[in-house]
Chains A and B, each alone.
Chain A
Amino acid sequence: MANRSRLCSRRRFVAASLAGTAGVVLGGCDWLPAAPTFREFLAGAEGVTQRVHRALLWRGALAREYRAEDISSTFRANGSQDASSLPPEYSELARGGFADWRLVVGGLVMRPTSFPLADLRALPARTQITRHDCVEGWSCIGGWTGPQLSAVLDRVGLRPEARFIVFHCADELPRYRDGATRFYESIDLIDAFHPQTILAHEMNGAPLPFAHGAPLRVRVERQLGYKMAKFLTRIEVVDHLDHIGRGNGGTWEDDGYEWYAGI
């Protein structure tokens, strides 16, 4: 406890010299940010941000597209980067060049379908050189090629109650080694039908590298990198997100990050 109080007084000192009277509020060690109800209250800003973005920013606005010479010489990758965090059957698929891999599209759709990679490659593709902004702060520019998500969704046909698109992925994060929880993310229909939302099977003109989610990842260019799920295996169309994972709409969201990652 001695340590705790020293930490507290040091924080108080800094906060007070920075902020004068705000020191009392700020310097409350970490009890305030740790209090779940208070954090929830602050996190309410996410809803404001999303509503203001959707109201003020033109929904069809395209993220900036760059020239080939702007492509970053090295493109960082976070999350799973090799077979060690992927289940053995996925490594098996990779060894076979993903010939037996399927993208299963189901949920609230008219015609549940499973797409072999060749079928997705045969769809009209969009190529876009865009900037990838990680929540950590770094940016990399890369070129992505693949069919628009809207084209795939149009093929299966959404039922009227459809609200969200959930991306289920092959990778297991180390802390979820139980195998029950695999990486997942979700977006709403506004982003799902945005022209730049594509299912990329190529990066910089070559088949998608392993570190970037072979054989298929999603690009959601107006949100942060963690929304752009890699190693896709299944797309599920749903009307709410409560029943998936811990109910926050994605693996990162279950860890306390915002579902709307527009900033």
Chain B
Amino acid sequence: MADERRRWIYRYSAVLRGTHWVNVLCLAILVMSGLQIFNAHPALYWGEDSDVEQPILSIATSFTAEGRPIGVTRLFGMSFDTTGVLGRSRFNDRPVQRAFPAWSTIPSAQDLATGRVWHLFFAWIFTINGTLYLVYSIVTRHISSALLPRREQWKHIGSTVREHLLLTFRKGVDADYNIIQRVSYVVVILVLAPLMVLTGLTMSPAVDAAAPWLLDVFGGRQSARTLPLVTTWLLVLFVFVHVAMVLLSGVLNNIRSMITGWYSVAREAGHGQP
């Protein structure tokens, strides 16, 4: 391992690594148990109450003219045949009527009570873990130094985006986050994650009584139930892109740094553009 051309950087402290992996676990469980809870009433509305005539999104089993059952997803009045995944899928080798399929929910069987038990437990872990991360990152200036975009990075945003679209970015050159990483991490950490917690809290009639401003901020309880349609799927999209970039930009070095803290970079790390 004594490669003269590389040096080691201690990139992530134990707190950053620990909170990252706890967060991975929480997000996966919260999304999958959240889909279980959604399945109990697979329709989304805007406003305070549920006008069953006018859902923004609904997933149901319907029947064709020949009487064949199909899964139908309706979004803003448009209908899509989603048989096999949404509205009708297979579970234990039998066709079942359910919004999200068994492989995407916790538990797999339709079971609102157990889905809630998982969701509410990991909602606490997610919130405590996230609070710990935020306090730590503010105190150690991790957010201001590593995450907030630097002014000169904005100037090179065009070439950074081009490098990423063409997959020609350089790997292991330095441990600094580029502008795309910084913007997406800030959006996820400071916008999407807090929105996830706050929309979840708005589901609580007890919290709504003590903090009715939550209802006003989100435009009603049903709106707050609908917003995760955007925020959750943005988070899932982020995870997929994030994992893809981890794989493409030196998978061993990346994963090692998030487990041990140590990241290897080229010794003559040229910061200037070629």
Q: Which residues of A come within 8 Å of B, CB atoms?
A: 3, 7, 10-11, 14-15, 17-22, 25-26, 29-30, 33-34, 39, 42-46, 48-49, 53, 56-58, 61-64, 66, 70, 72-74, 76, 131, 133-141, 221-224, 255-258, 262-263
Known: A222-B205, A263-B207. A139 touches B49 (CB 8 A): yes
Main secondary structure of the interface of B (DSSP, over half): helix
Place the interface of chain B in its size category.
35 or more
Report whether B25 and A221 are in contact in the complex, using a CB–CB cutoff of 8 Å. no
Report whether A223 and B113 are in contact in the complex, using a CB–CB cutoff of 8 Å. no
Q: How far is the CB of B169 from chain A (nearest CB, A)?
A: 22
Q: Is B32 an interface residue (CB 8 A)?
A: yes
Q: How far is the CB of B58 from chain A (nearest CB, A)?
A: 12
Query: CA–CA, A30 to B124, complex, Å?
Result: 22
Report whether A33 and B107 are in contact in the complex, using a CB–CB cutoff of 8 Å. yes
Query: Can you spell out 28 A-B residue pairs with CB atoms less than 8 angstroms apart?
Result: A7-B103, A18-B28, A21-B24, A26-B25, A34-B107, A49-B124, A57-B209, A63-B209, A64-B215, A70-B48, A72-B49, A131-B205, A133-B205, A135-B40, A135-B112, A135-B116, A136-B112, A139-B222, A141-B48, A224-B205, A256-B113, A256-B114, A258-B120, A262-B205, A262-B206, A262-B207, A263-B120, A263-B203
B31: chain A residues within 8 A (beta carbon)? 18
Query: CA–CA, A238 to B116, complex, Å?
Result: 28
Query: CA–CA, A136 to B204, complex, Å?
Result: 13
Q: Is B109 an interface residue (CB 8 A)?
A: yes
Query: CA–CA, A253 to B209, complex, Å?
Result: 23
Our count of residue pairs bridging A and B at CB distance below 8 angstroms stands at: 162
Q: Is B13 an interface residue (CB 8 A)?
A: no
Which B residue sits closest to A13, measured CB to CB? B103
Q: Which residues of B come within 8 Å of A, CB atoms?
A: 21, 24-25, 27-29, 31-32, 37-38, 40-41, 43, 45, 48-52, 92-93, 102-104, 106-109, 111-114, 116-118, 120-121, 123-124, 201, 203-212, 215, 221-222, 225, 236, 239-240, 243
7 closest Cβ pairs, A-B complex: A19-B28, A262-B206, A263-B204, A256-B113, A57-B210, A137-B41, A138-B50
Query: CA–CA, A74 to B54, complex, Å?
Result: 12
